[in-house]
Amino acid sequence: MSSIDSAGKQTVIGIRPEREVITRQRLPYFTGISAETAGSRGLSMHLVVIPPGGSAAPHRHRAYETGIYVLEGRVETRYGDGLTETIVSDAGDFLFIPPDVPHQARNLSDTLPARAIVARNDPNEQENVVPYDVGAAG
């Protein structure tokens, strides 16, 4: 997919995610904007759903920033060396995660999914997701 049309002009692209994909973080995503879907060169943006009681695999994002807006639910994010620090985000909250900060999100509800919009300044964001071994921290 490209944001350049057949005449060589930049064009606007509309995307409706049709299916979920399971990411390296082991969460269902609905990919919106990326290099693959829109020809983006500096941005990815998608919907993440954390199932009731579910959590992401601990990870970090190599050299890029992440912005999150919680649409529904309550999410605890453990972060930092050994994932010893925490922040709780409710629907309507924004969360910023700097590059290379280890983190793990967890849905605090055992009955309802949590949903959030995630944006990153990497159009191929899954290529730079790095698993984080909590036991090796420190």
Q: Cβ-count burial of 1 within 10 angstroms (0-12 exposed, 13-18 middle, 19+ buried)?
A: exposed
Which CATH number is 88's domain given?
Answer: 2.60.120.10
Domain count for the chain = 1
Nearest to 61 by CA among 124, 136, 106, 107: 124
Determine contact, residues 46/68, Cβ cutoff 8 Å: no
12 lies in some domain: no
113 lies in some domain: yes
- pLDDT tens for 23-58 read 666 677 788 998 888 889 999 999 999 999 999 999
Determine the Cα–Cα distance for residues 132 and 138; give it in Å rounded to an integer: 12
Domain that holds residue 58: 24-126
Determine the Cα–Cα distance for residues 45 and 31; give it in Å rounded to an integer: 7
To the question of pTM greater than 0.75 for the whole model, the response is yes
- pLDDT tens for 101-117 read 999 999 999 999 999 99
Model pLDDT, residue 2: 58
- pLDDT tens for 1-24 read 556 666 677 889 899 887 777 666
